[in-house]
């Protein structure tokens, strides 16, 4: 347990990555959209996606930043993994709670007085505080771990394997998009997503556990 706390403190040395930069990214997007809303009135923006994308970037960055450093001081791979996962869960809780609180404020102020829907995503606006907080927690932790497993692949098998995997995913998704377009299934797909949109997100939970397991296996076998 003390070693796990040491790993967490090591991560917090880069507090700017975990706190400062995400806030800058989020607030800059919010301010821009608020100014637009003041000019044109009520509208819905996807600017909130910026913070979710950055969470994945954090997951990718942590291994190159301090994995070798931590192991050089005698920290076991298992403890590094547990300490890093603890950081992901801690900040997932922090950000999910904060985003849900700000959603409540946005609703109470009718979109900051301008009708802006930035934190209050329309298809999630009816969810209770607890439901939305849990949903945010699942999504953010999933993105942390997705970035982490990608970085673990690069550490274990090399960057070439990771790049090849990404290219394969892009090719598969591109082929699927072409087929869906050819058979004209986009309308059906959209209706399906709108019907099961919140349920789909909950399927991220088992995927997150899978990412954690694979990351642990690959980090244990990786070189410094």
Residue 197 is predicted with a pLDDT of 67
Cβ contacts of residue 117 below 8 Å, gap of 6+? Answer: 42, 43, 44, 45, 106, 111
Residue 135 is predicted with a pLDDT of 87
> 76: which DSSP letter?
-
Residue 137 is predicted with a pLDDT of 94
Residue 51 to residue 180: CA distance in whole angstroms: 30
> Which uninterrupted H or E stretch holds 43?
strand 43-44
Residue 184 in tokens: 């004209």
Residue 138 is predicted with a pLDDT of 92
Residue 146 is predicted with a pLDDT of 93
pLDDT in tens, the chain (224 residues): 778 999 999 999 998 999 999 999 999 989 998 998 898 888 888 888 888 888 989 999 999 999 999 998 889 999 999 999 999 999 999 999 999 999 999 999 999 999 998 998 877 788 889 988 998 999 999 999 999 999 999 998 888 888 888 788 878 878 887 787 778 776 776 677 667 767 777 788 899 999 999 999 999 988 76
Residue 50 is predicted with a pLDDT of 85
Q: How many other C-beta atoms can be found within 10 angstroms of the C-beta atom of residue 76?
A: 14
Q: Are 58 and 147 in contact (CB under 8 A)?
A: yes
Count Cβ atoms within 10 A of the Cβ of residue 92 and give its class: 0-12 exposed, 13-18 middle, 19 or more buried: buried
Residue 193 is predicted with a pLDDT of 64
pTM above 0.75?
A: yes
């Amino acid at each position: 347990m003390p070693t796990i706390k040491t790993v967490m403190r090591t991560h917090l040395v880069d507090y700017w990555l975990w706190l400062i930069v995400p806030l800058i990214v989020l607030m800059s997007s919010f301010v821009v959209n608020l100014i637009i809303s003041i000019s044109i009135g009520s509208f819905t923006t996807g600017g909130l996606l910026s913070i979710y994308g950055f969470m994945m970037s954090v997951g990718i960055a942590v291994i190159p930043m301090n994995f070798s450093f931590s192991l050089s001081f005698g920290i076991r791979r298992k403890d590094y993994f547990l300490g890093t996962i603890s950081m992901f869960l801690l900040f997932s809780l922090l950000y999910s709670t904060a985003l849900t609180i700000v959603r409540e404020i946005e609703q109470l102020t009718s979109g900051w007085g301008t009708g802006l829907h930035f934190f209050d995503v329309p298809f999630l606006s009816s969810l209770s505080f607890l439901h939305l907080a849990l949903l945010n927690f699942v999504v953010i932790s999933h993105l942390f771990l997705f970035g982490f497993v990608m970085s673990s692949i690069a550490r274990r098998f090399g960057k070439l394997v990771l790049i090849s995997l990404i290219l394969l995913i892009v090719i598969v998704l591109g082929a699927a998009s072409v087929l869906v377009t050819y058979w004209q299934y986009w309308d059906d797909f959209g209706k399906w997503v709108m019907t099961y949109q919140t349920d789909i997100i909950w399927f991220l939970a088992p995927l997150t556990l899978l990412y954690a397991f694979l990351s642990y296996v690959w980090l244990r076998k990786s070189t410094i």
